[in-house]
Chains A and B, each alone.
Chain A
Amino acid sequence: MNTTILAFAQLPETVDPAPQRLLDHYQAMTRIRAFEIAAEEQFRAGHILGMTHSAVGQEAVAVGVCANLRRDDLITSTHRNHHHALAKGVDPAAAMAELLGRATGVCGGKGGSMHIADFTVGMLGANGVVGASAAIAAGAVQGLRLLGSDAIAAAFFGDGGINRGQCLEALNYAAVYRLPVLFVCEDNGWSATTRASTVTAGPGVSSRAEAFGIPAVSVNGNNVEDVDNAARELVQQIRDGGGPRLLHCRTYRLRGHTVTDTAQYRDTSEVERHEKTDPIRSCAMRLAQLGFSKQEVTAACEEEENAIEDAVARALAAPWPCRTDAFRDIQDAGAPVQP
């Protein structure tokens, strides 16, 4: 296979997505933003336990990629996953209830923020172990191929994951078996408190994929149209039997690593600079250019914010898991006995 890093400029001319598609993207991104803001509020109120990792500012990556996936296509994700889950179709109310640890949560309160999963919409699971889910996605489509399905998978990981051996092994594995996986490296520049570039050797994410013979594209991850266009092209190549692809999305982590991390290790001027490239704001400006009225855009945003408010209220009123739930769904042979 002739492998080159495809710069975005070299992709074939794409027609602008239909304006309605962009409005759909905007709506999906505002849904995610409202969810993440609500999660932050619920965390500060003490209703979300443990830790949660905000995807504020990274919505375009999730929405642009997932817009090109079928319901039966799969995604896997990482600890920062709410945007991927919602973009794939996980019900925000079930996701919020999961964050609040309620029995009505999408995992029955047993997974929490880092372990969102909903197999009915192809969300094969978020993972608390960095880089671990790439191999799971690769094996999943290898299994699906054995079963006669042509579904594909998108494996989301970050700029930290691309340094992990397991992730690099998964790239090699997918390339060897020509597995239909879109590896999405969501590069937000920061691995917890460490600037990713200081611990990442070599020319960068895309060249690592190239080293395995996997064509790669690098895009502005804060422009949902760029992400959508690139993902559409790569997904089509994958569906056509071209083997795996990698999409490197350059974005920025506007919040701390977790909700409690105030990110003192970063310059506020750096953060302010990136706030100006907020993907939702730039999408709204683009919608205005395309002729949508301010009312239409605001109405779309409000619809999503109301839905999230409702999801939070329902989650807060939902019951907790009961004791027996702690002892269920572990294993068939050798299941524990509840004391």
Chain B
Amino acid sequence: MITVVEAGRRALQSEMRKNPAIWVLGEDIRHGGVFGQYKGLVEEFGPERIVDTPIAEATMVGAAVGAALVGTRPVIETRFSDFALSAMDELINQAAKNRYMFGGQGRVPIVVRMPSGLRKNSNSAAQHSQSLEAWFVHIPGLVVTAPATPADAKGLLLAALRGDDPVVHMESKELWETTGEIGEDDDAVPLGVGRVARTGSDVTVVSWSSTVHEALRAAELLQGAGISAEVIDLRTLWPWDKDLVLESAGRTRRLVIAHESVRDGGFGAEIAATAAEELHETLTDPVRRVATPRIPLGYSVPLENEYRITAPRIAAAAASLVGEASGPETFASAQPVALVHRETQQ
């Protein structure tokens, strides 16, 4: 059993051993990275391949575009997805469009690692906690990955490193310490293929990244109420496994999408619209989205709790589709396993 952060570290290390063209740039990489993603790497690969940069995200990504065009495979560590916003021209106007604009002459095989989302006990507030995957799935040219488990943290990073597309690799900060089995192989997880995390028959819950774990806890709660929920972990957001989702929702005839990031204009909207287009005669109920309200993340605990997508909230949404009139409080007695919701003194 190893952690998500260690799974990614080992995947990067093994791939860097095999492919001398892979190198990493970002802040404090030689120190091991903020979350330990790069521990031991500068000792093994040297300072030419593990490069500490100035605080200049735009130039990290811009330089990586150039380095990729000439044949290397840079990995950019953006430290927090919120900081990657300084590199939007470089990611969207340069990396995503270079191959097309120049008529197919070049390839931009960069991996942009974005630590994203809430982190337990971190209370990092509005500028250190965003999940902006909706921005990047919207951009032609980009691939977007979002592992929820150590096995996928390894497998999707390997896929990203081996492909020729620019990949935005969204890594939930909540999940760094989550453990799981990863296997001895160095197999990539195929891009665009989701995973059924739990089979069920009454309702389909689609999710990704940290919310997958809440969805699985929600499925436990629902089972207690006699509802069988199927949980899908998309793993890749672009391209996303449409066939998997449509087969499942076509069978259960009820669809809930749960994600941590703003509901309005979130990627759940794309999935919901697709389901409405393809399954409008099959679904028995409207598609429900469980996602963050359109608020920035506040600092204090009660404010952050408004933002969290919890198992009771997901369970309540699923139950409402099955016809049970219930709110999250119906399921609130369950204690989440890994998350710590600190109670405030009223």
Q: Which residues of A does B touch, CB under 8 Å? A: 74, 76, 105-111, 115, 117-119, 124-125, 127-129, 132, 134-147, 149, 165-166, 169-170, 172-173, 176-177, 328-334, 336
- Rounded to whole angstroms, the CA-CA distance of A172 and B218 in the bound complex is 50
Is B165's beta carbon under 8 Å from chain A? Answer: yes
Q: Which residue of A lies closest to B190 (CB)?
A: A333
Q: Could you give, for residues 28-71 of chain B, a 1 whenever the CB lies within 8 Å of some chain A CB and a 0 otherwise?
A: 00000000000000000000110101101011001111111111
Cross-chain contact B68 with A143 (CB below 8 angstroms): yes
Give residues of chain B (52-111) contacting chain A, Cβ–Cβ below 8 Å.
53-54, 56, 58-59, 62-72, 74, 89-90, 93-94, 98-106
Cross-chain contact A333 with B63 (CB below 8 angstroms): no
CB distance from B170 to the nearest CB of A (A): 15
Could you say which residues of chain B place their CB within 8 Å of the CB of A149? Answer: 70
Cross-chain contact B105 with A147 (CB below 8 angstroms): no
The 4 A-B residue pairs with the shortest CB-CB distance, nearest first, are A139-B63, A135-B62, A143-B67, A139-B66
Contact of A146 among B72, B192, B239 (CB under 8 A): B72
Q: Which residue of A lies closest to B145 (CB)?
A: A333
- Rounded to whole angstroms, the CA-CA distance of A143 and B67 in the bound complex is 4
7 other A-B residue contacts (CB within 8 Å) besides A76-B66, A169-B54 = A129-B94, A138-B66, A172-B54, A172-B59, A173-B54, A334-B191, A334-B239
A-B contact pairs, 14 of them (CB 8 A): A115-B101, A119-B69, A129-B94, A135-B59, A139-B64, A143-B66, A143-B74, A170-B63, A173-B59, A329-B100, A331-B143, A332-B163, A333-B163, A334-B239
Cross-chain contact B101 with A111 (CB below 8 angstroms): yes
- Rounded to whole angstroms, the CA-CA distance of A149 and B70 in the bound complex is 10
A119-B106, A139-B62 known; A169 and B72 CB under 8 Å? no
CB distance from A138 to the nearest CB of B (A): 5
Is B21's beta carbon under 8 Å from chain A? Answer: yes
Could you say which residues of chain A place their CB within 8 Å of the CB of B56? Answer: 169, 172-173
Q: Which residues of B does A touch, CB under 8 Å? A: 21, 23, 48-49, 51, 53-54, 56, 58-59, 62-72, 74, 89-90, 93-94, 98-106, 140-143, 163-165, 191-192, 236, 238-239
- Rounded to whole angstroms, the CA-CA distance of A128 and B97 in the bound complex is 12
Cross-chain contact A135 with B100 (CB below 8 angstroms): no
A142-B67, A146-B48, A173-B63 known; A115 and B140 CB under 8 Å? no
CB distance from A114 to the nearest CB of B (A): 9
Could you say which residues of chain A place their CB within 8 Å of the CB of B71? Answer: 143, 147
CB distance from A175 to the nearest CB of B (A): 10
Could you say which residues of chain B place their CB within 8 Å of the CB of A336? Answer: 140
Could you say which residues of chain A place their CB within 8 Å of the CB of B48? Answer: 145-146
Q: Which residue of B lies closest to A109 (CB)?
A: B103
Q: Which residue of B lies closest to A134 (CB)?
A: B62
